[in-house]
Amino acid sequence: MSDTFSFTKPKWQVVKDKKVFETPIFDLHEFSLDAPGQIIDHPFYVLKAPEWINVIALTADKQIVLVEQYRVGVDETTLELPGGMMDEGETPLEAAKRELLEETGCSSDHWELIGKTSSNPAILSNFTHLYLATECEFTGSQKTDGTEDIAVQTLPLDEFLDLVRSGTVHHAIVLAAVAQFLLRKD
What total number of domains does the chain contain? 2
Q: Are residues 98 and 36 in the same domain?
A: no
- Where in the sequence is the domain holding 26, given as residue range(s)? 13-48
Instruction: Quickly state the pLDDT bin for 36 (edges 50, 70, 90).
Output: confident
What is the reported pLDDT for 141?
86
> Average pLDDT over the chain, rounded to whole?
94
Instruction: Quickly state the pLDDT bin for 116 (edges 50, 70, 90).
Output: very high
Q: What are phi and psi of 123, to 5 degrees?
A: -135, -10
Instruction: Quickly state the pLDDT bin for 186 (edges 50, 70, 90).
Output: low
DSSP for 161-172, written as a single string: HHHHHHTSS--H
What is the reported pLDDT for 1?
47
Q: Are the CB atoms for 108 and 135 separated by under 8 Å?
A: yes
**Sign of the dihedral defined by the CA atoms of residues 56, 57, 58, 64, in that order:** negative
Tell me whether residue 6 is in a domain: no
Tell me whether residue 120 is in a domain: yes
Q: Are residues 27 and 85 in the same domain?
A: no
What is the reported pLDDT for 144?
80
Instruction: Quickly state the pLDDT bin for 76 (edges 50, 70, 90).
Output: very high
What is the reported pLDDT for 38?
75
